[in-house]
């Protein structure tokens, strides 16, 4: 593997209108950029969005470059969906975000989804028959959607990489780079 295994890749990173956990957005984005990927920040509307720390404290602001409705899974080689309880709840309530996640899953495009982010997977109906992890409070949601929930720092199942939360970011980031590089897209 080269020093920049994603030098040909283009990756989308979701950013909710408010409530995305800052470190779950910034660290994976930086890791895939460092691996050579071009990254687009995608959200409900373009413009500045504030993140949060520990779900309650204000974080930094970041630019949303494209909207959910303006992009397509065919535009990307991977997708990252960060958590944050409020942000993930907003994403699962946004039809365009849910449709986009479903499109990524249908296309077999690798996805990295962390913390509360799997709510969007559940809403998109793409959990059935898969093994994944998440923030522990989502385990019943995952099981009710037909998935097998496990308590592990990172789980990869057919290109879907999931982790429980910020403490798992090192393993999560390594796994998404590997999944995106192996996809051969």
**Residue numbers annotated as active site:** 115-116
d(CA 58, CA 123): 27
CA distances from 153 to 16, 125, 135, 156, 175 (A): 24, 23, 10, 10, 11
* Structural tokens at position 39: 């990254």
CB within 8 Å of 12: residues ≥ 6 apart? 39, 40, 41, 42, 66, 71, 75, 76, 78, 79, 80
Map tokens 């899953």 to a residue.
Answer: 105
């Amino acid at each position: 593997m080269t020093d920049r295994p994603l030098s040909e890749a283009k990756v989308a990173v979701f950013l909710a209108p408010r409530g995305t956990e800052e470190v779950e957005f910034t660290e994976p984005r930086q890791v895939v950029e460092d691996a050579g990927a071009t990254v687009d920040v995608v959200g409900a509307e373009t413009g500045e969005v504030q993140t949060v720390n520990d779900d309650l404290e204000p974080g930094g602001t970041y630019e949303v470059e494209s909207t959910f409705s303006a992009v397509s899974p065919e535009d990307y080689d991977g997708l990252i969906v960060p958590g944050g309880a409020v942000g993930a709840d907003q994403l699962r309530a946004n039809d365009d975000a849910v449709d986009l996640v479903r499109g990524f899953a249908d296309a077999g495009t690798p996805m990295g989804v962390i913390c509360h982010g799997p709510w969007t997977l559940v809403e998109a109906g793409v959990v059935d028959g898969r093994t994944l992890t998440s923030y522990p409070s989502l385990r019943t949601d995952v099981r009710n959607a037909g998935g097998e929930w496990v308590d592990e720092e990172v789980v990869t199942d057919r290109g879907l990489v999931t982790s429980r939360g910020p403490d798992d970011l090192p393993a999560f980031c390594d796994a998404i780079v590997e999944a995106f590089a192996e996809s051969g897209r």
